[in-house]
Amino acid sequence: MISADAYEKQQIIKRRIPGEAEQTNSWKDRMPNSWHFEKEAAPTLLPRPGAPPPNKWPLAKMYQVLKMKKEPELIYEAEPHKMYFVFCYAFALVFIIYAMNALSIGLTLTDRMYKDNDNKLKDWQLDLEYVMHLVISVVMACLPLGIGFGFLLLPSRLIRRMWYLPEGSGKPAYIKFTTHPLLPNRPTPVCTMPLGVLRKSMTAKIYNGKGFYGVTDSSFFFFLRENGRRIPFIVDRKGFFWGDGRMFDLLFSNDTIDQVENSKKIDEIYGDLLRERREKEQALKKEYGFGWRTKAAGKLMVDDVSKIKSLISGSSDKSNTPDKPKSTSKTSSKADAGNSTPKKSQSKKPKKKYENKK
């Protein structure tokens, strides 16, 4: 028999292991326990036992281990989405109130303009103007109302857990994942689709080498879009990843293993270029001080103008230099020689004609 404290510690550790805790859909799971949001944003999940260590194995080895699995393998689990629910509900409430306020103001102004009839319009013109103002008021209210309902639907696109279903007996590999229901206390939605159906954006980059799993980024999440569907699923970057982010770049794109590995090197080179650029900017700040961008651009303009002036002056000096006399004499002698030969031939021809006449 174990003590109550030891049992409670085991349960806490079990809840922090990905895939072990039971995920429910109550209001308590959607709302934070306190208003100290920094505690809610802290990571709670531990690495799953048996998963490859992040950023240590080659991608080819990790993918081979995943393909050799015989049972569904948990490859992702998100942290509790309580902060997403708080912000989505808050924004939805703001936009819905804004829509109701806009509709109320629009209808009030429309009725007042219809009753006053300041422009002295006819009855049919007044009715037409009333309908136009009414349509404008409704449209102006529908825009924020649609945005508000969009925020209400957004949590239902958050992926909670994801499994890799290995291929076997002639069947391809599948991806299974769960999301949040639209309303609390409802069954958990489960989606299962072939591996090639769910894709990330072509320009999106999941793995960047930052953080424990190499996926930490300022965007906080990335999108996975089903083929033929416009609304994507949302994957939180704060969570458990099987291996690291390279596996997700490989599974949800058409890139090969070599392309995924080389993209990491390209990002490192790009990071070095950004670092050099920042160092140059810091040097210019120290040299020019306040307004260093304008001063540096002005100096470049002055240098360009001086270069253009030097090019113009060099070309004018070349045009003003006299030609060499030797070259002119040779050309003149050749021209004289060419002109003298036909004259001799012309002088001989009349003599022959004169002799024949005699």
For 30-51, the pLDDT digits (tens) are: 888 777 777 777 777 888 888 9
Q: Please indicate, yes or no, whether residues 220 and 77 belong to a single structural domain of this protein.
A: yes
Same domain, yes or no: 48 and 119: no
Tokens in use for 241?
A: 């990843």
- Cα of 339 vs its chain's centroid, Å: 77
* Same domain? 103 vs 251: no
Local structure of residue 232 (DSSP, 8 states): P
Q: Are 151 and 165 spatial neighbours (Cβ–Cβ below 8 Å)?
A: no
Chosen domain end from 231, 257, 283? 257
What does the alpha-carbon distance between residue 157 and residue 345 come to, in Å, rounded to a whole number?
A: 102
pLDDT digits 0-9 by tens, 1-32:
667 777 677 777 777 888 888 888 888 888 88
Does 344 map to a domain? Answer: no
Cα–Cα dist 252/254, whole Å: 7
Average pLDDT value for residue range 46-62? 90
Strand ranges across the sheet with 159-165: 190-194, 174-179, 159-165, 73-78, 239-241
Shared domain for 118 and 232, answered yes or no, is: no
Cα–Cα distance for residue pair 140/163, rounded to 1 Å: 43
Q: How far apart are the first and last CA of the chain?
A: 155
Give residue-wise pLDDT tens across range 240-278: 999 999 999 999 998 888 888 887 655 565 566 777 888
Rounded CA gap, 200 and 76, in Å?
A: 15
Using an 8 Å Cβ cutoff, are 120 and 113 in contact? no
Indicate the pairing of strand 159-165 with strand 174-179.
Answer: antiparallel
- In terms of pTM, does the model score above 0.85? no
Q: Are residues 223 and 170 in the same domain?
A: yes
d(CA 187, CA 84): 20
Q: Angle, nearest 10°, between helix axes 257-288 and 59-67?
A: 140
Statement to judge: residues 135 and 240 lie in one domain: no
